[in-house]
Structure 1
Amino acid sequence: MQLTRFTDLGLRVLMYLTHRDRDALVTIAEIAEQFAVPHNHLIKVVNRLGKLGWVHTLRGRSGGLRLAVVPAELTIGRVLRELEGSTELIDCAEPPCALRADCRLKAALDQGLRAFYVAMDAFTLASVVDAPTGDTIITLHRQYLALHR
């Protein structure tokens, strides 16, 4: 199983916005540069995070992004469920599988996926940005500000 690029970026954005060591809002341009991702793709990711209520966005010259949730209350499992949008690893109906009626593979995969999400529910946004990750995020942000002032 591999997460989509969209989910990967969504997680990175949330992690980057978690630390409060900021005077100003974070821009999409900053995040795009930090993670070497296309600006336009990041806009789509941030838009989705905003619709989910996890990121607050302000438009305009002095606009930017801010985390809109308490990091300790948002589980990684929830983020993955929302951004991945799929609760199945395989679809036996399309195209129809000849083994579908008697196959045990789908049940095994479904059980494994449920276990994965349960395991990810044990982690919060706050826990995944503990040191050293959080320290690195702060350093990246400070370096960006120093280069772009």
Structure 2
Amino acid sequence: MQITKFTDLALRVLMYLTQEVSSSPVTINEVAQQFDVPRNHLIKVVTRLNKLNWVIATRGRCGGLKLGIAPENLRLGNVLRELESKNSLINCAEPPCVLSGQCNLKEILDHGLNSFYEEMNKYTLQNIVDQKTQQAVIKLHQRYSA
């Protein structure tokens, strides 16, 4: 299984927002520049994260982005499940499979996917940004401020 670019960028945004290095709010332009991604794509990601209440986005001259949830409360499996919207790895109905209802493949793959999400839920956003990742994110913030 490979996550989408949307989910990958969402995880990077969440990681970036865990560190408040400057008194200035983090902006869309800052994140777009830091991760070298199109601003319009980033807006879609941030809008989704905002709807999930994982990010608080404030508009206006003094606006910006900040985490809407404590990093230790955001489980990685829940993030992946929500953003990937995958509850099943295959669809036996489209196109119709002649083995549908007569084989175990879908059930086994669904079990594996659920096990993957459960395993990922052992980790939080805080686990992701501990130690070396935290230092890398802080350096990104400092690079932008300089």
Q: Same fold (TM over 0.5)?
A: yes
Show structure 2 runs of 5+ residues with no match: none
Give secondary structure in 1 for the equivalent of 2:66.
strand
Could you tell me how far 1:22 is from its partner in structure 2? 2.9
Could you tell me how far 1:99 is from its partner in structure 2? 1.0
Q: Which residue of 2 aligns with 1:34?
A: 34
Could you tell me how far 1:141 is from its partner in structure 2? 0.5
Q: CA RMSD in A?
A: 0.9
Taking every aligned residue pair, what percent have the same amino acid on both sides? 56
The amino acid across from 1:118 in the alignment is E
Q: Which residue of 2 aligns with 1:74?
A: 74
The amino acid across from 2:24 in the alignment is A
Q: Distance in 2 between matches of 1:56 and 1:142?
A: 22
Q: Which residue of 2 aligns with 1:136?
A: 136
Work out the number of aligned pairs and report it: 146
Could you tell me how far 1:138 is from its partner in structure 2? 0.4
The amino acid across from 1:40 in the alignment is N
Deviates more, 1:121-130 or 1:18-27: 18-27
Q: Which residue of 2 aligns with 1:88?
A: 88
Q: Which residue of 2 aligns with 1:59?
A: 59
Q: Which residue of 1 aligns with 2:25?
A: 25
Could you tell me how far 1:121 is from its partner in structure 2? 0.1
Q: Distance in 2 between matches of 1:21 and 1:72?
A: 19
Q: Report if the CA contact (8 A) 2:21-2:142 is conserved.
A: no
Deviates more, 1:21-30 or 1:45-54: 21-30
**Runs of 4 or more off by more than 4 Å in structure 1?**
none
Could you tell me how far 1:20 is from its partner in structure 2? 2.8
Q: Which residue of 2 aligns with 1:100?
A: 100
